[in-house]
Chains A and B, each alone.
Chain A
């Protein structure tokens, strides 16, 4: 049996709302940073706001809301959190290495010592 939203206890409603707003805010700020930060490497950092506590906040809100409304533990959202956390580095490192490779082939010796060719 699902409880309707109006029957939800006030404290649950407050916690769920706060978590949702925090998660959504962090994701939005990440998107704004993605747009506004000046260099590629700096822009790499912004989306991880959304993939860390952005997704975390929405995930916790969903767990609490559906667990209370359905009067049984609903935990499968944790899987979303786990998979987002585990897969983000794959794309980010791929992008970062592509940028690094291009920069180094253009002659910028980022993070290299003088005797190293970076391969």
Chain B
């Protein structure tokens, strides 16, 4: 009946926030959300099993703080211009996460962080190519990504 409960609930909440919290909109939103769930089911995406819900806010908070710091760093770097040269570099990171949803989450995290950009994932070698705007220490960078995000994603999504 409802193949993706989380999606359906999110769509209902979205519908109510966009319109108004009334009974009429609840019914209309539920109708749309149920049909959207069926439409997605026709595409048969791999369904993620979210194991540890309580870790999600930790990850979200950590990412927000990191994005804030990275914003400040990149803004300063742009404002300083040519006076202080930076070293842009490509780095390849081996990843343990394999689930498409976990990879998607990782790409959103790394792309939203202004200092790093996700370029290409290699599914055969399980590595991702990343461009870093101001690379100081490659090993520290790789370790930070694996410790701060990947370990949590591994625990959250199965």
Interface residues of A (CB under 8 A from B): 25-26, 29-30, 32-33, 36-37, 39, 41-42, 44-46, 48-49, 51-53, 75-76, 78-79, 85-86, 88-89, 92-93, 96-97, 100, 110-111, 116
Cβ-Cβ contact count across A and B, 8 Å cutoff: 100
Q: Is B90 at the interface (CB under 8 A from chain A)?
A: yes
23 A-B residue pairs with CB within 8 Å: A30-B114, A32-B79, A41-B131, A42-B88, A42-B133, A44-B117, A45-B117, A45-B133, A46-B78, A49-B71, A49-B114, A52-B67, A52-B70, A52-B114, A78-B17, A79-B14, A88-B111, A88-B112, A89-B107, A89-B118, A92-B117, A93-B119, A96-B131
> What does the 1/0 interface line of B98-111 toward A look like (CB < 8 Å)?
00000000011001
Closest to B76 in A: A29
Chain B interface size, as a band, is 20 to 34
Q: Is B95 at the interface (CB under 8 A from chain A)?
A: no
A97: chain B residues at CB < 8 Å are 119-120
Min CB distance B21 to A, Å, is: 10
A39: chain B residues at CB < 8 Å are 88
